[in-house]
Amino acid sequence: MTKQTPKIYVACLRSSNLPELVGRWIGVDENTEPEDLAAEIKGVMISAAEVTEEYAIHDSVGFEPFSIGECISANHLCILSKIIADDDPAFCAFTEYRGLNDGDDYDDIKNAYDSSMLGVYDNLESWAEELIGELNLKIPDHIVNYIDYASYARDQENGGLIYTIDLNNGRIAVFQQ
């Protein structure tokens, strides 16, 4: 199934008092620059009978899993479009969990994701088992069965060293704080 290019419906709020509503669908792909998107939004406002700065985003498609509000900035829309184009459910979940701040850019979010991502697992116990296995400890076979990976993982999460995000596909993404 081909992914749909993200789009927003921009409506001129001033036109709600006019005989005809003014609005337009605008595509926001991963190559869209915030300045270009802002110019397109302004174009919708200029096409109204009275030039105004008042607009709202009344609808969006292709931005799943993100929820697009009426007043989201052009910069944030462009960032979300790039994240969606990466086609990484864990990256989308991380961004949704973290949120977007003024001044953020795609590279900031991607670097934060890359530096805190520990992996995608079936459960937290699988993460702990892999982590301990990577330590290359010489644990005798007759002792390995006594290691409580689930408790270790729970302690790491409860201690604030890691956190998990449910990916809604039976798997979790594990991140370090």
| Confidence check: pLDDT of 32 > 60 | yes
Model confidence, pTM: 0.83
Same domain, 81 and 122: no
The CATH number for 145's domain is: 1.10.10
Write out pLDDT tens, residues 91-125: 999 999 999 888 889 999 999 999 999 999 999 99
What are 126-164's pLDDT values in tens digits?
999 999 888 888 888 888 889 999 999 999 999 999 999
pLDDT score, position 47: 65
The predicted structure's pLDDT at residue 15:
72
**Whether residue 77 is found in the same domain as residue 140:** no
Picking from 44, 36, 91, 83, the residue whose alpha carbon sits closest to that of residue 63 is 83
Structural domains in the chain (count): 2
- The answer to whether residues 17 and 64 belong to one domain is yes
Is 2 a member of any domain? no
Instruction: Using CA atoms of 148, 123, 121, 96 in order, give the dihedral in degrees to the nearest 10.
Output: -130
**103 lies in a domain?**
no
**Domain extent for 147:** 118-176
- In this prediction, residue 51 carries a pLDDT of 65
Structural domain ending residue among the three candidates 65, 87, 109? 87
Amino acid identity, position 39:
A
pLDDT at 141: 84
Residue 123 and residue 62 share a domain:
no
96 domain residue, yes or no:
no
- 71 with 12, same domain: the answer is yes
